[in-house]
Structure 1
Amino acid sequence: MFQRFRRTRLKGQLRSLVRETTLAKDDFIYPLFVRSGEGIKTEVSSMPGVFQMSVDEILKECVELKKLGLYSIILFGIPEVKDSIGSDSLCEHGIIATAIRAIKKEHPEMFVVTDLCFCEYTDHGHCGIIDEVNETVINDATLEISAEQAIIHAKAGADMIAPSGMMDGIIVTLREALDIAGYENLPIMAYSTKFASGYYGPFRDVAESTPSFGDRSSYQMDPANRREAINESIADEMQGADILMVKPALAYLDIVREIRDNTSLPLAVYNVSGEYAMLKAAGERELIDYDRVVMETMIGFKRAGADIIISYHAKEVAKMLEIV
């Protein structure tokens, strides 16, 4: 006798009852890009539907997100002036700190995650203080100013901090600094396995963070390395991370699955700009059933083991979930 797997596929209600992986609005964090000024809402040509926004427009966007049932955001800052050490990110009146305070005042129920890095704030576009001789980031000096940036975010009212620079020792450095400053209950979402990927191209347009020289291969991970990826995430867990992350997501689902099998911590994926732009382009050319492929992609992330999805598709998915 052979097994009749189709028995549980023939009726829609039964398919729903035996469905193994589900998707909900609470799974998503929506990225927002805030810049200095007022009345600014500029669409990014390489990322249709994604905007650079001034703080007043970000507040309006939060209203729309809440209507859709989305209450978690991650903030990226675009300062008016950039310099060699990203001074705006170290200032209590910088763009990110200003945005956090405004959001928490107008929309206290919004859960505000802050991306902690320097590439958006430096004139060279790299993720910390530069070693000009070797054209790379000085790890330990960058840890020091990263701790300063974390305290700025915490004081402004951030609900969670997500350091993305891939500096060795960043999690333990931030955990110790936050604890000493009295923010021992502020969680850290580690960019624990972040690859030096070609999928980030459109992000660098919206964040205005393209490196002025070289690339980030000396501190972000080699896409070919699987074992190192697992070690990176486990090391961040041991240093005190509360949530782990894999970035990008779509080409690294094997890594997501392996990390899921090696940790009980919550696991996030970042569905990055290049992944978003590819689906947008294919949808606009009617090469795919856009809504169906987006949902299939999101389910793929969850099936691989992700608990949280950071995605530019989040608003679209929220609307789709209303219809399902």
Structure 2
Amino acid sequence: MIEQKLRPRRLRINEQIRSMIRETTLSVKDFVYPIFVVPGENIKEEIPSMPGCDHLSVDRAVELAKKIYALGIPAVEIFGLPEYKDEIGSSAWDMTSPVQRAMEAIKKAVPELVIVGDVCLCQYTNHGHCGKLCGHYVDNDETLKLLQKVALSQAQAGADIIAPSDMMDGRVAAIREILDENKFINVSIMSYAVKYASGYYGPFRDAADSAPQFGDRRAYQMDPANSREAMKEVELDLAEGADIIMVMPAMAYLDVVRQVREYINHPVAVYNVSGEYSMVKAAAANGWIDEKRIVLETLTGMKRAGADIIITYHAIDAAEWLG
């Protein structure tokens, strides 16, 4: 009989040893929880395509923010449904809109909770595209001027991090310029640098009422087949002043996350998007998977791939499971 001297199983024999040599540790401090705010008061309505996630009025969003902070989750990202929509999405920089009011209220109630502001126009335009239209074409440079207004309004409302998700060329530089001009030099930019034109966004478009009224977003979001192009986008956004680089979606693009992690020394974020979340919730509801085990395994995979920050609708559940 051949003597087995090398036995990797020795280091898997019990949880104490496994925890001592664990290479990747998932923490509640890794998470950002997205919140959807809507007009009105005392509103909490579950989003049908995203079980466990709700549309919240500002007052109820503040209640949730307090719970999130108590769980140890360090940050929230705020999305919103406006009271009105128009061709240019002007409600996106209206200080009386739910997003800006929620930022102000949350910052007042939970000042140490980090607020991330999503800067895009798709939720606020009546055509559902991410910028100002010229015919059926999104005008890149005219859109930059509008994004500057959105970013500045969110910084004024209390956002600690501005996260442009529109995929217009040059938007990081434009946002950095307007923030600095208005003395918001300490407001960070977390760029959706690598945002793919993905089918995984479907439930979010239901939640944010942001589906395009014609065509799609492939003319400005990235082709899912490309990874070298992702490095170009990362390089450009860092040169323009991005502080954090995001890859979105997460699960089908962990190879890209790894490439980005190896390419840069800046923090890397991933967005565990709505379709990824809803698939897990649907499978769990049917009894096909162990939800807790799958969620924690999935989030650990994102961390292992190189993510420092994980934006996820699972954050509250995962924080409770992690204790």
TM-score normalised by the chain length of structure 2:
0.97
Match 1:54 to one of 50, 53, 57: 57
Q: 2:71 corresponds to which letter in structure 1? A: L
**Aligned-pair CA distance for 1:229:** 1.1
Inter-partner Cα distance in structure 1 for 2:129 and 2:221:
11
What corresponds to 1:63 in structure 2? 66
Q: Deviations over 1:211-251 (max 9, x none)?
A: 11111000000000110012111211111100000000000
Partner of 2:213: 212
Match of 1:105 in 2: 108
Question: Aligned residue for 1:171?
Answer: 172
The answer for the alignment partner of 2:158 in structure 1 is 157
Q: Which residue of 2 aligns with 1:269?
A: 270
Deviates more, 1:90-99 or 1:117-126: 90-99
Tell me the CA shift for residue 2 of structure 1: 5.7
Q: Which residue of 1 aligns with 2:134?
A: 131
Shift of 1:95: 2.2
Render the CA deviation track for 1:108-132: whole Å, top value 9, x for unaligned: 1211100000001111111010121
Is 1:79 the counterpart of 2:82? The answer is yes
CA deviation after TM superposition for structure 1 residue 185, in Å = 1.2
2:36 matched to which residue of 1? Answer: 33
Worse-superposed segment, 226-235 or 191-200: 226-235
Structure 1 distance, partners of 2:214, 2:64, is 34
Report whether the alignment pairs 1:116 with 2:119: yes
- For 1:175 and 1:39, locate their aligned partners in 2 and report how far apart those are by CA, in whole Å: 36
Give 1:77's aligned amino acid.
Answer: G
How many matched pairs? 320
Are 1:154 and 1:183, in contact at CA under 8 Å, matched by a contact in 2? yes
Query: In the aligned structure 1, how far is the partner of 2:205 from the partner of 2:36?
Result: 11
Q: Is the 8 A contact 1:115 1:163 kept in 2?
A: yes
Larger CA deviation: 17-26 vs 92-101: 92-101
The CA distance in 1 between the partners of 2:83 and 2:293, in whole Å, is 39
Find the aligned partners of 1:237 and 1:309 in 2 and give their Cα distance. 20
Distance 2:14 2:72 in 1: 30
CA drift of 1:36 comes to 0.9
Q: Which runs of 4+ in 1 moved over 6 A?
A: none
Q: Does structure 2 conserve the Cα–Cα contact (< 8 Å) formed by 1:171 and 1:239?
A: yes
Aligned to 1:95: 98
Aligned ranges 1:200-239 → 2 under 5 Å: 200-239=201-240
Task: Give 1:43's match in structure 2, choosing from 31, 46, 65.
Answer: 46
Amino acid corresponding to residue 223 of structure 2 in structure 1: D
Alignment gaps of 5+ in structure 1: none
- For residue 66 of structure 1, report the CA deviation from its aligned partner: 2.3
Structure-1 separation of matches of 2:267 and 2:137? 31
Say whether residues 1:20 and 2:55 are aligned partners. Answer: no
Q: Which amino acid aligns with 2:58?
A: V
Measure the CA separation in 1 of the matches of 2:15 and 2:296: 18
For the 8 Å contact 1:88–1:95, the answer to whether it is kept is no
Within a 5 Å distance, the mapping from 1:180-199 to structure 2 comes to 180-199=181-200
What's the Cα RMSD here? Answer: 1.0
Q: Please tell me the residue identity of whatever aligns with 1:19.
A: R
Match of 1:309?
A: 310
Structure 2 CA distance, aligned partners of 1:280 and 1:32?
18
Instruction: For residue 148 of structure 1, report the CA deviation from its aligned partner.
Output: 1.2
Structure 2 spans left out of the alignment, 5+ residues: none
Code of the residue aligned with 1:5 in structure 2: it is P
Separation of aligned partners in 1, 2:65 and 2:96: 21
Deviation (angstroms), 1:93: 2.0
Letter aligned with residue 146 of structure 2: I
Q: Alpha-carbon deviation of 1:46? A: 0.7
Distance 1:137 1:62 in 2: 35
Residues in 2 aligned to 1:117 and 1:296: alpha-carbon distance in whole angstroms: 31
Distance in 2, matches of 1:198 and 1:71, equals 29
| Deviation (angstroms), 1:136 | 2.5
Report if the CA contact (8 A) 2:151-2:179 is conserved: yes
The offset of 1:81, in angstroms, is 0.7
- SS of structure 2 residue aligned to 1:48: coil
